[in-house]
Amino acid sequence: MAYEVPERLKKQLDFILQADAEKEIVRRTPLSSGKRYENDSEHAWHMALMAILLSEYANEKIDLLKTVTMILIHDIVEIDAGDTYCYDYESAKTQKERELKAADRLYALLPEDQGEKLRGLWEEFEANETPEANFAHAMDCLQPTMLNSASGGISWRENGIRLSQVLKRNAYTKKGSEALWDYQLNELILKNVEKGNIKGE
């Protein structure tokens, strides 16, 4: 008797294979070594590891599994929508529209219950109103700041980024973790202004 893949399993595996394309989405954040730019999947993995290790610094008690799941799927929409560099204000104008269209297609690949659950977590991340979303956003800000600093400010210098831009972009960190924001501001951001990697005002 020929093996027939159960429909639910087929949908789950189709989504998993589609998610592999996230490895091809190159971001504008360098690796700490500065040798190349990271991709979306590396970014999500690094954020997830950070959340596991740093969750004790969250402003509010969080459901860690929920937070890590949110982190792992937060950029899957970029498989279709592409990465929008946080300081590319022109591309940001169409970001929401592109990402909603991508979410419609990608999460529909899954069995309905799982698709609704993951899309709900993505929407919760985007809304940034729950303790888990707040902490996930803190990781989304802290992780690239750490890599930019460790690599000598490559991306900041290449794009002529100013302190006001960095402060505006990273305001989410404080909402998720005041302790990590204190570290990020004093040890990463202001020290890179002193080094000339971030332009002062």
Topology (CATH) of 8-194: Hypothetical protein af1432 (1.10.3210)
At 20 the pLDDT is 98
Beta bridge partners of 72: none
pLDDT (tens digit per residue) in 175-196: 999 999 999 999 999 999 999 9
Q: What is the DSSP letter of 162?
A: B
Please state the φ and ψ torsions of residue 84, each to the nearest 5 degrees. -105, 110
Q: Give CA–CA dist 128/134, Å, rounded.
A: 6
pLDDT at 197 over 80: yes
Give the percent of the chain with pLDDT over 90.
90
**pLDDT tens-place string over residues 45-71:** 999 999 999 999 999 999 999 999 999
Domain ranges of the chain: 8-194
